[in-house]
Amino acid sequence: MRMADTVFLDFEGEGPKGPDRVPQLPFLAGLYRPKARGRKSQFAVSLFREHCTPVKNGIPEISEITTLEAFIERISEQAETENLTICYWSKHELDVLKEFLKSNPSLIERFEAISLNILPKARKHLRRLGQEPPESGNKVLNHYLAMICPKAALVSTPRVGAAVSCQRLERYSDKEKKWSNWSEQQKITATDLIRYNREDCIATFRIAQKVLKAKRPRIRRGH
């Protein structure tokens, strides 16, 4: 698989809530496309909260406020047209779609057909090297990154955590509609979350560079 033909997807959100662990709609999605000959790397964020216009207005990486369904439709169509593979770190991204796009199973099928979960490939890579893949602990992605790409910078978690950052940005947006009126700390919460999302995408890309063959693997994508 050519890295020039990949894009890397990562969701940020509050995570499940309550004793029943009810899934929550993601707050945003980041999409990273690695640099290639004649093209710089690209990173853009889509926001899934209509009332969070201050965040969009203040963060240049945020390209749109949209719905999850419209976002997945757009990136799936782009991947189909340009023969791209949408890569993501674990089954979480696909689970999100299965939860929140139940009414559009054909879109989920399209996404599965042009997407790839990197984690199983990373596990296989480590086992081939005689190493035991890490399955628990804080920020498992960083453990894989350290083992597979030891020279790569680790992902730095936001000061208040990604989930709390999402909660706070929703609350800030409800209270103050002008980004210019936000406090410096409120703005840092937003910029820190976007920086974290970008680092997640890039970490997944770094791992993919190591564990995927140059030739497109014969796999069922999405699993």
Ordered by start, the domain boundaries in the chain are: 3-211
The pLDDT tens digits for 76-123 are 999 999 999 999 999 999 999 999 999 999 999 999 999 999 999 999
DSSP letters spanning 174-195: HH---GGGS-HHHHHHHHHHHH
The per-residue pLDDT for range 79-90, each reduced to its tens digit, is: 999 999 999 999
**pLDDT tens, 7-38?**
999 999 998 888 888 889 999 999 999 999 89
Cβ atoms 10, 117 nearer than 8 A? no
Q: How far is CA 59 from CA 42, 166, 211, 222, in A?
A: 15, 14, 33, 31
**201, 28 Cβ separation under 8 angstroms:** no
Record: fold of 3-211: Nucleotidyltransferase; domain 5 (3.30.420)
The structure's pTM equals 0.92
pLDDT-derived band of residue 137, with 50, 70 and 90 as boundaries?
A: confident
Please name the amino acid found at residue 116. Answer: L
